């Protein structure tokens, strides 16, 4: 931009985790397009852990949304003091529009459905200038994150399947019995299985799954990895099985084969319409987004056998296990 007093970009994509993952190829393309600019990524806790481990941002502005509104206004002051020359906001929220309006940044573009005084540059013109930004573009981490993640899964021989056994909503979780049945089919076929997740309920679920299977074939890392370490382990696997979770977006962006399990959401509703294998619940109201639905276990209708067959179709088997 002519007359810029600084060459600093503020890139605004703060949540949710899956959306932050999907924004990584865009951030990398912006860095390539503006090599003489520094890029600061505005991100929310806990997604800052992921962005810190990536080589695509020079600095971070971290927003702790668990605090009261003072945290937001403190963030606004930090933006104004940053003296950025450009604001790029693919995340369309009223709070970001308000921040943009009061930011003092001279060049502001945002992904808004309606015209807004908060942004003075066309989003589509900006995208046209960037050129094609592929959805499936992959990404890599800095050291020592890669070394830590490899060390944590070192006891599980390659190749292995990553299994994200939880989800943010109970309605998006595949039941314990289905996971146990899938695990039996997988290890009998010679696959290694790495269980990923977090939280007390998922730890109990993972313990039950691992306890029902041969210990040398299963690695239970639920509650034992940071979110970013889990992402790196997914990238080191040969295939991911998961419900509608952020790790499923990781697999998609990384070009990793994945089997996605869907019920209250559908792949095309959450930006995963092109996922390699999507299995849908046998429910007349699938895709309802009803978190108060009485049918909280609609994913139970997706059988372990169907998931195993979908996985085997993506990653062919040999007599000794994965090919």
Q: Which tokens sit at 87?
A: 């604001």
Residue ranges covered by each domain of the chain: 8-130, 145-322
- % of residues, the chain, pLDDT over 90: 84
Q: What is the mean pLDDT of residues 176-203?
A: 95
Q: What is the reported pTM?
A: 0.91
pLDDT digits (tens, 9 = 90+) for 61-95: 999 999 999 999 999 999 999 999 999 999 989 99
Q: How confident is the model at residue 317, as a pLDDT?
A: 59
Does residue 323 surpass a pLDDT of 70?
no
CATH superfamily of 8-130: Glycogen Phosphorylase B; (3.40.50.2000)
Q: Determine the longest span between alpha carbons in the chain, in angstroms.
A: 66
d(CA 135, CA 247): 15
Q: Are 76 and 103 in contact (CB under 8 A)?
A: yes
pLDDT band at residue 4 under the 50/70/90 scheme? low
pLDDT for 152-161, tens place per residue? 999 997 889 9
User: Is the domain defined by 145-322 classed in CATH 3.20.20.140?
Assistant: no
Q: Across residues 26-32, what is the average pLDDT?
A: 95
**pLDDT for 5:** 59
Whole-angstrom distance, CA of residue 253 vs CA of residue 162: 16
| In the predicted structure, residue 3 carries a pLDDT above the cut 50 | no
Predicted local distance difference test score (pLDDT) of residue 319: 42
- Residue 16's pLDDT is what? 92
Do 43 and 56 meet the contact criterion of CB atoms below 8 Å apart? no
> CA 290, CA 306: separation in Å to the nearest integer?
25
**What does pLDDT average to over the chain?**
92
125 or 318: which carries more pLDDT confidence?
Answer: 125
Structure confidence at residue 197 (pLDDT): 96
**pLDDT of 203:** 97
The whole-number average pLDDT for the span 41-46 is: 97
CA distances from residue 140 to 3, 235, 245 in whole angstroms, order as listed: 35, 9, 20
- Residue 104, Cβ neighbours under 10 Å: how many? 15
* Same fold? 8-130, 145-322: yes
Task: Give per-residue pLDDT as tens, 206-215.
Answer: 999 999 998 8
pLDDT score of 113: 76
Q: What percent of the chain has pLDDT over 70?
A: 96
110-130 confidence digits (pLDDT tens): 998 777 899 999 999 999 999
pLDDT given at position 296: 74
pLDDT at 100 over 90: yes
Q: Do 13 and 42 touch, CB atoms closer than 8 A?
A: yes
Whether the pLDDT of residue 28 is over 90: the answer is yes
Average of pLDDT values for 269-286?
94
């Amino acid at each position: 931009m002519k007359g810029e007093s600084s060459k600093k970009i503020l890139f605004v994509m703060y949540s949710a985790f899956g959306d932050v993952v999907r924004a990584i190829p865009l951030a990398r393309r912006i860095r390539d397009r503006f090599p003489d600019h520094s890029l600061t990524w505005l991100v929310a806790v806990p997604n800052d852990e992921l962005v810190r481990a990536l080589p695509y941002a020079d600095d971070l502005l971290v927003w702790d949304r668990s605090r009261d509104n003072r945290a937001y206004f403190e963030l606004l002051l930090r933006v104004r003091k940053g003296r950025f020359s450009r604001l790029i906001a693919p995340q369309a929220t009223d709070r970001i529009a308000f921040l943009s309006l009061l930011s003092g940044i001279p060049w502001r573009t945002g992904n808004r459905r309606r015209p807004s005084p908060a942004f003075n540059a066309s989003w589509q013109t900006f995208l046209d200038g960037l050129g094609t930004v592929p959805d499936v573009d992959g990404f890599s981490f800095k050291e020592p994150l890669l070394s830590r993640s490899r060390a944590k899964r070192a006891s599980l021989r390659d190749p292995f399947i990553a299994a994200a056994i939880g989800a943010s909503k109970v309605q998006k979780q595949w039941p314990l019995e289905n996971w146990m049945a899938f695990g039996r089919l997988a290890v009998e076929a010679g696959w290694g299985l790495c269980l990923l997740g977090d939280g007390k309920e998922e730890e109990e679920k993972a313990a039950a799954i691992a306890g029902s299977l041969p210990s040398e074939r299963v690695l239970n890392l639920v509650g034992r990895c940071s979110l970013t370490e889990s992402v790196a382990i997914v990238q080191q696997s040969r295939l991911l099985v998961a419900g509608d979770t952020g790790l499923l977006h990781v697999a998609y962006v990384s070009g990793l084969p994945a089997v996605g399990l869907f019920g209250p959401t559908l792949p095309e509703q959450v930006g995963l319409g092109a996922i390699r294998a999507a299995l849908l619940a046998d429910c007349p109201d699938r895709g309802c987004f009803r978190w108060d639905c009485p049918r909280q276990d609609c994913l139970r209708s997706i059988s372990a056998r169907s998931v195993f067959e979908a996985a085997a179709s993506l990653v062919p088997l040999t007599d000794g296990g994965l090919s």
